[in-house]
Structure 1
Amino acid sequence: MSVRHDGSRRIDRRVRVQGRPVDSYPALAPEAERGSVRRVTVVGEEILHRPCREVTEFGTRELSALIDDMFLTMHVAEGAGLAANQVGVDVQLFVYDCPDDDGIRHVGHITNPVLELPEPGDRRLVDDLEGCLSVPGAAMAVPRTDHAVVRGFDMDGRLLVIEGTGYFARCLQHETDHLIGHTYLDRLSKRDRKDALRQMADRREEVFARRAMKAAGLGR
């Protein structure tokens, strides 16, 4: 998921890591410091349009390294969330470094997430601009609920429950969609989808160049 253009992702007054509050946290997550940049898949590639496999082996070096690489790739691409199939890996995993509407920064990862939304009568839908690192350069208004919960596991197989409101709730819904083979384009009308793809065609090379410059600046 793309970061908001108001720069909210940089707010660092309060931080929750894996759903738990911490006193302080670096601007660049430690996972990103250890990671390597991977190529971000683009809408139209088959891996983005089919459900991902469950993670069945926890506590492995391979899973830990994938999470590290995803954090750095997300940072370089200026994202607020990133799913594993967006770096070409067919597993149910996403990472996030995302603010909510109260300025609280949420950082973490989750595997095999199950999304829970309020009952239809209790839902408050919010139309807000949404982008995607796999739809580079495009942003469209997408209705999402302003509250969401995901239940899953961390990389060591421990149970996780992550709750989000506002923009972070949007992120949780966006990334869970990825893992069932959907992008936000699937939630648009045909006309709006065409508009988003036109935006991507016009701006993707500029986005790719910016990512390459940022990676080079980090020596990656």
Structure 2
Amino acid sequence: MMTNLFSIFDPSTNLLNLPLNWLSTFLGILFIPYSFWLIPNRHFIFWNFILDKLHKEFKLLLGNMNSNGSTFIFISMFTFILFNNFLGLFPYIFTSTSHLTLTLSMSLPLWLTFMLYGWINNTQHMFIHMIPQETPTLLMPFMVLIETISNMIRPGTLAVRLTANMIAGHLLMTLLSGIGSNISYMLVMILILIQILLLMLESAVAIIQSYVIAILSTLYSSEVN
């Protein structure tokens, strides 16, 4: 029995109070053996099709970059977040992407890398990017301040966006499932239908959020070149 509504997001377990729930983050590794089959199955062909489309889109967003294989880091991020979002929809599997500990650990180092690379190698371009074209001279200091704040909060917005979406859907499903024992059988059938529709919505959110994080990270990377 839950003692707290937010206990579903508790990373600790009852075994010596150790944070063993974080081990669910590595459950996505179970999908890797599909790529080693002698005859590719439907799952592997479909997944390769998705990765190929993502590679072409990320490559288009990044433009002509000198480093080959630069899209793989964003494809890996998309895959990692997608598996964790989806697996979190299953019962008794901890949703690690609902914690800022994990989301900030991904977005903050990535953002710092982009900023350091941009300011060290393309300093003039970074200064130019802080002031849009045809900006009046009087507004230039304010535009620099606004662009600076916008750059500073980027890792936070990436992390909070993913965390908030995962928490909101899971809490709504938990609240609806908690009232099932106090209503009539007819309302239970309606509640089950609502839960199924909500689960479909959460599945779409899991895909969309992983795609949004990968796209925004790609766009932030393209701005420093």
TM bucket (normalised to shorter chain) is: under 0.3
Higher strand residue share: 1
- Flag the structure with larger Rg: 2
Q: Return the structure number with greater relative CO, CA threshold 8 A, min gap 6.
A: 2
Give TM-score, length-normalised by structure 1.
Answer: 0.24
